[in-house]
Amino acid sequence: MLQQTRVAAALPFYQTFVSRFPTIASLARAREAEVLAVWAGLGYYRRARHLHAAARHIVQDHGGRVPEDPAVFGKLPGVGRYTTGAVLSLAFDRPMAALDGNVARVLARLFAVSASVRAARGARRLWTLAETLVPARRPGAWNQALMELGATICLPRAPRCGICPLARWCRARLLGRVDAFPPAVSRPAVRTVRRAIVVIARAARVLMVRREGPQLTGLWEPPGVELEDRAEISGGCIRAARVGRRARARG
Ligand code: SF4
């Protein structure tokens, strides 16, 4: 839940989720639609699908126990290098690094790394640093401390160097160039999407269809279409007829 999401935003969803699915077995038994319904509002629904699929794998292939071997754990759906390091260090005391955005920023400043974690060279360097630093004792506490430092002190803008416990070793600070690390990278432009939807209601029931396409796939919504740039909604009845046919075809 915390991938791309702040703790404060995820917390109420987390509490609801674990009270609805308190065990891996209960999550594995649930239908995907139930899991998505509990996740609704948190966004990035691929995370919920992966978590659900991973729970099923754990039950079917690993007797309901989370595998501790990184090579096995790393094959679960939706699990990459970061998740492997985070889960195995926090839950099983495995001395593995967990390089998230906050940790990458702290290390980039601490060692004045001039390449971004989004570039292959920067990712290699930062992962190597993170793996070199992680201690054999309490690696989970170490990883959480670095994450927390990045989230509360080594902030993206206006880092609080005056109260930072790493200040005396921080190369970016000693160089007087905290703002230069990590280097800025251009992000893909945000695309605004306009949709026309049709609400068809009868006897307190509303027609819903499952969404297709790259975003929010599989979620339920009133039938709709994406509007082309500058398209006018005044042609709504024509669009409504078209959408209605599509919805009926899906049953
Ligand atoms: S001294 Fe400042 S820039 Fe360096 S790690 Fe601490 S908060 Fe970040």
Average pLDDT, integer, range 36-49 = 92
**Percent share of the chain, pLDDT over 70:** 91
**Residue owning the nearest CA to atom 4 of ligand 1:** 170
Tell which one of 133, 153, 155 to mutate to probe ligand 1, the residue whose CB is within 8 A of the most ligand atoms.
Answer: 153
Pick the closest to residue 46 from 18, 83, 78, 82 (CA basis): 78
Alpha-carbon separation of residue 232 from 196, 197, 227, 235, 238 (angstroms): 10, 13, 8, 7, 12
What is the average pLDDT across 62-90?
A: 97
Please enumerate in sequence order all residues whose Cβ is within 8 A of that of 220, keeping only pairs 6 or more positions apart, or say none. 208, 209, 210, 211
Q: What is the pLDDT of residues 84-99, one digit of tens each?
A: 999 999 999 999 999 9
pLDDT tens column, 224-233: 888 887 666 5
- Secondary structure class of 217 (helix, strand, coil): coil
pLDDT in tens, 159-173: 999 999 999 999 999
Residue 242, pLDDT > 60, answer no
Judge if the upstream peptide bond of residue 95 is cis by omega within 30 degrees of 0. no
Distance CA 239, CA 244 (A): 8
Q: Which CATH superfamily is domain 1-79 in?
A: Hypothetical protein; domain 2 (1.10.340.30)
pLDDT of residue 49: 94
Residue 220's SS3 state is strand
Give ranges for CATH 1.10.340.30 in the chain: 1-79
> Can you tell me which atom of ligand 1 is nearest the CA of 161?
2
**Which pLDDT score, from 0 to 100, does residue 183 have?**
93
CA of 100 to the centre of ligand 1 (A): 16
Q: How far is CA 101 from CA 5, 75, 106, 123, 212, in A?
A: 11, 22, 9, 11, 30
CATH class of 97-184: mainly alpha
Name all residues whose Cβ lies below 6 A of ligand 1: 106, 109-110, 153-154, 159-161, 164, 166-167, 170, 172-173, 178
Average pLDDT over residues 65-76: 97
The rounded Å distance from CA 8 to ligand 1 centre is 23
Residues forming CATH 1.10.1670.10 domain(s) in the chain: 97-184
Tell me the mean pLDDT in the region 145-150: 96
